[in-house]
Amino acid sequence: RMYAVVGATVTTSEASRGPASAGPPPPITEESIDYNPPRGTRDFAPDEMRLRSWLFQRFREVSRLFAFEEVDFPVLESEALFVRKAGEEITQQLYNFEDKSGRRVSLRPELTPSLARLVLQKGKGLPFPVKWFAIGQCWRYERMTRGRRREHYQWNMDILGISGVEAEAELLAAIVTFFKKVGITSEDVGIRVSNRKVLQSVLGRFGVPNESFAAVCVVVDKIEKIARDEVEGELLKLGVSKDAADGILSALSLRTLAELEALLGSENEAATELKQLFALVDVYGFSDWLSFDASVVRGLAYYTGTVFEGFDKAGKLRAICGGGRYDRLLSTFGGEDTPACGFGFGDAVIVELLKERQLLPALQQDVDCIVFSLEDTLRPQAGLVARTLRDAGYAVELVLESKKMKWAFKHAERLQAKHLVLLGSSEWERGCVRIKNLISREEKDVAIDELVTEVDMLKE
């Protein structure tokens, strides 16, 4: 780990070595700071920030195509927004604390509760349906024994006020649009779709009380992560009978809607909603991305209907994204019953997938011109030249110190700049600067007031 030593006595060897270098940290006499960010968090230096901005720009482009409006909320929320009793991992790992006024607060682990809070805050004045998207940093606090990250960024899209599966079809279409936009195909990725009303129907048949529904879903969601008998054991601990547990586990292995109808009847709500959704998506034209999979329940307590998750068909990665219908969430916050559905799309798994598929874009700094005065006396004029180009919308790197021509060329190469604009006294006396086109290698003297036109032309 990199350390800087602040205020310590520096011996000559350290002075020659510079403030911090490899090898044992120098004796720390006073406070020292750690260059690394807090455990489980990331810095975004330019290279990483370019990739993050590229990813978020794709999220935003898709959200615009679907006419969703961007919203955001505080990273810090009242803890009460996230306290739920269904045993979800996300609520057991809240990054929560008591603030200096004694209030119980938490860094948000997800965006949906904040979105619900804002919709309720806006009240009856808010036109429905609401189609909002957000890209926000979310937090969790887990013992670093597992070495997992404690923060990630999540893109959310939510539709409130539509009770029909048309809303789910829109959200799934947005996810597919994103995948296609970044070069991922339905060979690489699929979206598994189910409906929590499957479980609800099964629980009803075995007389399992409604109050256990959310907790049962949270346990069943672990089916891919822990052994089947462990899932069964956790179900029994919830008071579910052995028969009911067997009924639940066998329902999860249903493979087709026909089998679902055979088990629950063709009038069953889960079956009819899923049939409607698949029929919609078929006409919409992206059925090749979707499959019915009764084992999908998702791990959030508040889902009440359709649930879905994006997965990589090579089976190497965790879920890419996930979502579902949550028609009861706003009423649990004291609001009216409001149909709602949405998804969350994290910034981590998708990057792993793009890396694996060699689909990561090659990104570099976007500089049009480098302005550079060959003599110190012309440095003020270099600022004028830079301003002229910037006022015309060009990205200009103005060299701020004395450098040799060789350095300027190398620097332009590194930045992949298109033009090198040189100020030299002989040209300046003639009211000119020298432009080198770093792509065509053409170079010429250009009058100052012709400069923008020239660069415009060179740009073509």
Ligand X SMILES: OCc1cccc(Br)n1
Question: Shortest distance, CB of residue 187 to ligand X, whole angstroms?
Answer: 26
Question: In terms of CB distance, is 71 or 90 closer to ligand X?
Answer: 90
Question: Shortest distance, CB of residue 324 to ligand X, whole angstroms?
Answer: 15
Q: How far apart are CA 104 and CA 108, in angstroms?
A: 13
Phi, psi of 70 (to 5 degrees): -80, 140
Question: Shortest distance, CB of residue 152 to ligand X, whole angstroms?
Answer: 4
Question: In terms of CB distance, is 83 or 236 closer to ligand X?
Answer: 83
Question: In terms of CB distance, is 84 or 140 closer to ligand X?
Answer: 140
Question: In terms of CB distance, is 139 or 286 closer to ligand X?
Answer: 139
Question: Shortest distance, CB of residue 207 to ligand X, whole angstroms?
Answer: 33
Question: Shortest distance, CB of residue 445 to ligand X, whole angstroms?
Answer: 56
Question: In terms of CB distance, is 146 or 404 closer to ligand X?
Answer: 146
Question: In terms of CB distance, is 79 or 397 closer to ligand X?
Answer: 79
Question: Shortest distance, CB of residue 149 to ligand X, whole angstroms?
Answer: 4
The residue whose two tokens read 């350095």 is 407
Question: In terms of CB distance, is 280 or 349 closer to ligand X?
Answer: 349
Question: In terms of CB distance, is 303 or 428 closer to ligand X?
Answer: 303
Number of Cβ within a 10 Å radius of residue 25: 14
C-alpha of 299 from chain center: 18
The token pair at 409 is 């060329």
**8 Å CB contact between 194 and 307:** yes
Report which residue type is found at 104. R
Q: Is 259 exposed, middle or buried (0-12, 13-18, 19+ CB in 10 A)?
A: middle
The token pair at 131 is 């189609």
Q: How far apart are CA 262 and CA 131, in angstroms?
A: 36
The residue whose two tokens read 């415009």 is 456
**Helices 257-264 + 196-205 axis angle, to 10:** 30
The token pair at 221 is 């969601």
Report which residue type is found at 361. P
Question: Shortest distance, CB of residue 344 to ligand X, whole angstroms?
Answer: 8
Question: In terms of CB distance, is 247 or 299 closer to ligand X?
Answer: 299
Question: Shortest distance, CB of residue 318 to ligand X, whole angstroms?
Answer: 9
Q: Which of 70, 63, 275, 71 is nearest to 173 (CA)?
A: 63
Question: Shortest distance, CB of residue 446 to ligand X, whole angstroms?
Answer: 52
- Read off the DSSP letter of residue 31: -
Question: Shortest distance, CB of residue 106 to ligand X, whole angstroms?
Answer: 11
Q: How far apart are CA 295 and CA 144, in angstroms?
A: 30
**8 Å CB contact between 82 and 140:** no
Handedness of CA 227, 231, 237, 241 (dihedral sign): negative
Report, in this order, helix, strand and coil percent for the chain, each rounded to 5. Answer: 40, 20, 40
Q: Is 242 exposed, middle or buried (0-12, 13-18, 19+ CB in 10 A)?
A: exposed
Q: How far apart are CA 169 and CA 180, in angstroms?
A: 16
Question: In terms of CB distance, is 141 or 206 closer to ligand X?
Answer: 141
Question: Could you tell me the CA-to-CA distances from 37 to 22, 148, 300 in Å, in that order?
Answer: 19, 14, 29
Question: In terms of CB distance, is 339 or 346 closer to ligand X?
Answer: 346
Residues that bind ligand X (CB under 6 A): 90, 109, 138-140, 149-152
